[in-house]
Structure 1
Amino acid sequence: MAKGKVMVFKKNEIKQCTESVDGLEMDSMLQIVAVLLVVGVGCLVSGELRPLEQPYNILVLMPVSMRSHRHVIQPIAEALALRGHQVVTLTKAPSLTSHPNLTELVVDISLHEEDINFFHMRRHPVTSFFELSRNLTWHARNIYNDSTVRELYLMRKDFHLIITDAYFHDALYPFLHELPFILVSTLGGNPQQSAAVGNIWHPAYTPTVIWDFPRPYTLPVKVFSFLAHVFTPIVWNWILKHPVQREISRQFPHLPPLAEIERNQSLCFLNTQVGLDVPIPLLPTQVPVGGIHLRPAKSLSQELRRWVEGAGSGVVYVSLGSMTRGSHMPRHYRSLFVQVFARLQQRVVWKFEEDVPEASENVLVRRWLPQQDLLGHPNVRGFLSHGGLLSLQEAVYHATPLLAIPVVGDHTRGAAHVHNNGLGRWLTWEELTVDTLLEALQDLINNTRYREEIERVSVRVRDEPQTARDAAVFWSEYVVRHRGAPHLRSPGAQLTWPEFLLLDVAGVLGAVAAVLTFLALNTARTLSLTSPKLKME
């Protein structure tokens, strides 16, 4: 656990950026007006966003977010900055973005990503879950000791809107109290998040955070889904949320419960896409912005272009995501991959964070690769992936079939989506052999039905009335314009579970039925006793 701090700003810059909307110098004001005119004309032509009425101060909190989560939230911050708003981000790692409206505050006070071993988590899920709880508790205990975080907290009311990650950021909820805020569900649809705003998912057809199955669900699957929907939030709250709640209550004794703060969210941005994800009813406070990080492919570097375009039989791209490091892959799996790749007719481009001297001549290994540019190249025939949501979205957008081998967590749901919808193949690590992996890759490349299906889905996800960036900008501004937009919130968010399940109503009706039954039985008994006397008379 890192205990230091790296700052890429001067402290007084925090105050300066929040005051800039009200106290701009004339030159700066003229520049912003010019930018806004350009943006406004463009929006009028496209018909997607109306001209900006006024710039807002917006705070984006993601000091715990992993790289893949930041890839969803950072585009929102960038879109708001490009729109003309003053945006301050609190993050654990600087981005590559440079914009005068965007100020990045970097704090190194959370778990380093290079220390996270997904293969270890796969082998030891229970101990890893408790380890995550300890890390989040440590973070809650120490984050407000950081001078940058503390100063930003004291200035939180200078911001018109706060945006933060819906996952693992409970310790930042004191920032949100009594202010308009938006949560970003970076892992897509989440039954726990949905329940917090009053929209309960039905377990007979909706996926869980981790699992999904072919539809219609069979009876055993419905039983499993029901149990998963019920017990997952119980375990999640007990192991992850309650320890953080204790720490925050100690530091902020007058703060309401974190769950109550979460229920008061103005909106939640969902990393879901209408043409890709399972159709699920949404509330007005649940806005899909899935694929906000997607973009058309750019030209490859000279080295990559020669390698990819020089492959007569095409290329297979291999990446297990931004968080699965090559040094963490067990040696026997690495050896298995090398053997399989050597037997392919295609060339292989492999993202792997170590040198692989034993790799065959048809394999190009690099520590980092431009994934979307590779997936968008017409000579890339297949994508061996871990099944992460962003990789799935990118593969669909660029119409490249997948072979998903999930490592941990929501990867399994992504792999199931690939399999259930004919977008490619799904293997587990336990069933991997040279023959099974080779057969799956050859089937992925040679069977045209996978590419045909993913091309159909790619057309669907691109056919939308508004881009995800424009949707994020519009609804962010909407929340500010309407003072947190409380009129959008469902009254169901305030119901207790007994009230939601109508147990109180069932109790009243049961009591009435019991009284009526008692009266009926008592009347019948009375009549039965009096009828013989009437006959005798």
Structure 2
Amino acid sequence: MSRFKARERLLAIVILVLTLQPSWSPVGAANILAVQTVPGLSHWNVMRSVLRPLIEHGHNVTAFTPFVDGDRDNYVEVDMSDVMRVHINENVTYVRGKVSTTATFMAILINITRSYCDVIHEHPRMTEILTAALPSEFDLLITQPVASKCVAYVATVLRIPLVYVVVPAVFTDLERSISGQFPNPATFGHTLFPRAIPKTFLDRLSNTVLTVYCSFLLRYNEWWQKVSDPRPYDDVDLIKPSITFTNAHYITDFSRPLTPDVISIGGIHLTPPKELPKDILEFIEDSPHGVIYFTFGSIMMISSLPVNVQKAFMDVFRKIPQRVLWKSNKEIEDLPPNVMVNKSFPQRDILLHPNVKLFICHGSISGVYEAVDAGVPVLGFPIVYDQPINMKNLVDAGMAISVNMFSITNDTLLTAITELVNNESYRNNAKVASKRFKDRPVSPAESVVYWTEYVLRHNGAPHLKSPAINLIWYQYFLLDVIGTLLVVAFVVWITIQYICQLIFLSFCRGKEKRE
């Protein structure tokens, strides 16, 4: 009897332990190294959102980042803010000038990526990690690629699986090196192409030229960097990512074929709504005509816009009946009475309020997802990189209008705002997009946990990779096969011609003899 009771007590203890430890991982608590290679707050918000569910699931994360949140259970930070310049409140005109041409932009992408790789690799803590005896203390590396493959160096040295987190929804320049596939320029717009889907012959032609040109520029710039300023990672056969989490979703991006190792987690940064501060809530709810929220995110500084552009916004805001929440890095003189300005607003919570009628932004993917999730129409002023194509996707969804920032007038701005606020079709289409965006089998956070642990369970999951990743470019496009077939066809044609000539000559000689 006492033995039976002892078993009961033991079983109760086991059940209690299992109940109190729901965060235990099926693969055990892994040690994950995370490296933030892009010092932009929007990029870090996505990376942080990827790491959060892994931490909550019991994994230990060591993160190299310039955005310090503070150590906590299962999470340790290596502060990089003193050696990585954080991109916040940049001058709009300066940024636009720096990326005025495609060639300049591609060169900058390579230079920035390699320079931050150098900074990270030379950090004392990273040097300690890289020079420690194998096997490494870490089981997995999570990092963000931009252009150069140097971000894979740490995983290559430590001989651990690599996971990529790609923040732009459209990542055409990375597809070949990540999944082995080359984007089809007949069906998918390049990241820098102004249209999401090429619809005409001229669209397909220009998109093809742009795609090939950008691919060439990236390869050329990286080759030139290797020749002119070689680094240790240039002489190493860098490993490929086991999986890639891409901040994409087919509602705000176009539907495209992806290999199994590419997992879409668009909107992972979206958090549960919180209660709005009292002053903001009253400002919103006391507006009988609704509210407009206006921001250019954390990177672009609105006060750096040309004076005529700022004046156009001020003049138009005075004329409209809606109230405006304007996020600005500095105070604005002669502010219209219907405008509230602040350096920081709870953007996510504001957009979810039913009295918000319009979102004015620059088209960054994080803000786009927040607008789509909330079902709010968008007036976009895209400036650089993926912003134009992000806005074009919303325009195609019927929930947005996209305008050239540097050519706006009072009339064009007022017309766009009036159309978006008063035409119910934009809000209805936004609500449809919101329903589709939220309709998923699992949340992005659950996808991150499952697929990260899948890689850990299956030793890097090499079976997910496409065989195309190992093909040289001319093999991938079958140029060697096509060339061989052309040579064979040429030889056959020459042979047939030669035989025909012999037959013809023989016939002519025979005819002469008969005559």
Q: TM-score over 0.5 for the alignment?
A: yes
Asked if the contact 2:317–2:336 (Cα under 8 Å) also holds between the matched residues in 1, the reply is yes
Asked if the contact 1:352–1:366 (Cα under 8 Å) also holds between the matched residues in 2, the reply is yes
Distance 1:253-1:462 versus aligned 2 partners, 3 A rule: closer
Q: CA RMSD in A?
A: 2.4
Q: Match for 1:38 among 7, 22, 29?
A: 22
Task: Describe the SS at the equivalent of 1:158.
Answer: coil
Q: CA deviation at 1:104?
A: 1.4
Q: Match for 1:69 among 32, 37, 43?
A: 43
**One-letter identity of the residue aligned with 1:147:** P
Q: Distance in 2 between matches of 1:243 and 1:82?
A: 43
Q: Distance in 1 between matches of 2:456 and 2:46?
A: 21
2:217 matched residue in structure 1? 235
Deviation sequence 1:351-393 (CA, Å, 0-9, x none): 0000012111100000011111000000100000101111111
Task: Describe the SS at the equivalent of 1:113.
Answer: coil
1:209-220 maps to which residues of 2 (within 5 A)? 209-213=191-195, 215=197, 217-220=199-202
**One-letter identity of the residue aligned with 1:398:** A
Q: Distance in 2 between matches of 1:368 and 1:244?
A: 39
2:93 matched residue in structure 1? 119
Q: Kindly indicate whether residue 448 of structure 2 is the aligned counterpart of residue 472 of structure 1.
A: yes
**One-letter identity of the residue aligned with 1:337:** F
Distance 1:322-1:485 versus aligned 2 partners, 3 A rule: same
Task: Describe the SS at the equivalent of 2:64.
Answer: strand
Q: Kindly indicate whether residue 87 of structure 2 is the aligned counterpart of residue 103 of structure 1.
A: no
Distance 1:404-1:105 versus aligned 2 partners, 3 A rule: same
Q: Match for 2:181 among 180, 195, 199?
A: 199
2:144 matched residue in structure 1? 165
Asked if the contact 2:89–2:299 (Cα under 8 Å) also holds between the matched residues in 1, the reply is no
Task: Describe the SS at the equivalent of 2:193.
Answer: coil
Q: Distance in 1 between matches of 2:282 and 2:180?
A: 53
Q: Distance in 2 between matches of 1:414 and 1:401?
A: 14
Asked if the contact 1:186–1:271 (Cα under 8 Å) also holds between the matched residues in 2, the reply is yes
1:190 matched residue in structure 2? 171
**One-letter identity of the residue aligned with 1:529:** L
1:333-482 maps to which residues of 2 (within 5 A)? 333-482=309-458
Q: What TM-score, normalized by structure 2, do the two folds share?
A: 0.89
Q: CA deviation at 1:321?
A: 1.3
1:298 matched residue in structure 2? 274
Aligned length: 490
Distance 1:220-1:341 versus aligned 2 partners, 3 A rule: same
Q: CA deviation at 1:311?
A: 0.6
Deviation sequence 1:242-278 (CA, Å, 0-9, x none): 465458843457523xxx53xx211111111133320
Q: CA deviation at 1:115?
A: 6.8
Distance 1:247-1:107 versus aligned 2 partners, 3 A rule: farther
Q: Kindly indicate whether residue 194 of structure 2 is the aligned counterpart of residue 225 of structure 1.
A: no
Distance 1:318-1:35 versus aligned 2 partners, 3 A rule: farther
Q: Distance in 2 between matches of 1:491 and 1:141?
A: 31
Q: Distance in 1 between matches of 2:112 and 2:257?
A: 35
Q: Match for 1:94 among 65, 68, 78?
A: 68
Q: Match for 2:121 among 135, 144, 150?
A: 144
Distance 1:463-1:101 versus aligned 2 partners, 3 A rule: same
Task: Describe the SS at the equivalent of 2:21.
Answer: helix
Between 1:83-92 and 1:106-115, the stretch displaced more is 106-115
Structure 2: runs of 5+ lacking an equivalent: 1-13
Distance 1:214-1:70 versus aligned 2 partners, 3 A rule: closer
Q: CA deviation at 1:36?
A: 6.6
**One-letter identity of the residue aligned with 2:215:** P
Asked if the contact 2:316–2:410 (Cα under 8 Å) also holds between the matched residues in 1, the reply is yes
Deviation sequence 1:310-350 (CA, Å, 0-9, x none): 11110000011121123422222222211111111000000
Deviation sequence 1:276-324 (CA, Å, 0-9, x none): 3201000011111111111342210011101111111100000111211
Q: What TM-score, normalized by structure 1, do the two folds share?
A: 0.86
Asked if the contact 1:55–1:85 (Cα under 8 Å) also holds between the matched residues in 2, the reply is yes
Distance 1:35-1:85 versus aligned 2 partners, 3 A rule: farther
Q: Distance in 2 between matches of 1:475 and 1:284?
A: 11
